[in-house]
């Protein structure tokens, strides 16, 4: 096992893991796999997410103030805002307001 690990440039532990995977699943087990977790057990609950979003929309508070109000970490509040697409106040601006232009015939009127 050590020679195989040395040949592939990996630790013996990794080579042992690959060998076990090959024994169990055969050649299909040698395909590249994602290291992304299957689930996120620490994900913010829907009730907390809803509260953060509603406070953001009503009060227009930042992540630190939202975190203090909801009892989560500021980084969690910011992550929720990013996930919901409202991390910047400009994303909350009403886009239906018209620009008022004051046009005059000559400068200085």
**What's the pLDDT tens digit per position in 15-56?**
998 899 999 999 888 888 888 888 877 789 999 999 999 999
Within the chain, all domains assigned CATH 1.10.10 are found at: 46-91
**CATH architecture designation of domain 46-91:** Orthogonal Bundle (1.10)
Q: Report pLDDT digits (tens) over 63-106.
A: 999 999 999 999 999 999 999 999 988 877 766 677 778 888 88
For the chain, report the end-to-end CA distance as a whole number of angstroms: 89
Helix (H, G, I), strand (E, B) or coil at 88: coil
Q: What's the pLDDT score for residue 28?
A: 86
Task: Please return the burial class of 109, using the count of CB atoms within 10 Å of its CB with bins 0-12, 13-18 and 19+.
Answer: exposed
Q: What's the pLDDT score for residue 95?
A: 65
Q: Provide the H-helix boundaries in the chain.
A: 2-8, 12-25, 46-59, 63-70, 74-83
Q: Distance between CA 109 and CA 101 in Å, rounded?
A: 14
């Amino acid at each position: 096992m050590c020679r195989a690990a040395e040949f592939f440039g990996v630790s013996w532990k990794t080579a042992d893991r690959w060998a076990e995977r090959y024994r169990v699943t055969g050649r299909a087990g040698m395909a590249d796999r994602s290291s992304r977790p299957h689930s996120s057990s620490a994900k913010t609950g829907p009730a907390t997410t809803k509260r953060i979003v509603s406070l953001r929309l009503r009060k227009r508070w930042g992540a630190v103030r939202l975190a203090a109000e909801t009892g989560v970490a500021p980084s969690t509040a910011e992550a929720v805002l990013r996930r919901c697409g409202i991390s910047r106040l400009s994303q909350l601006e009403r886009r239906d307001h018209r620009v008022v232009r004051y046009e005059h015939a000559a400068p200085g009127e």
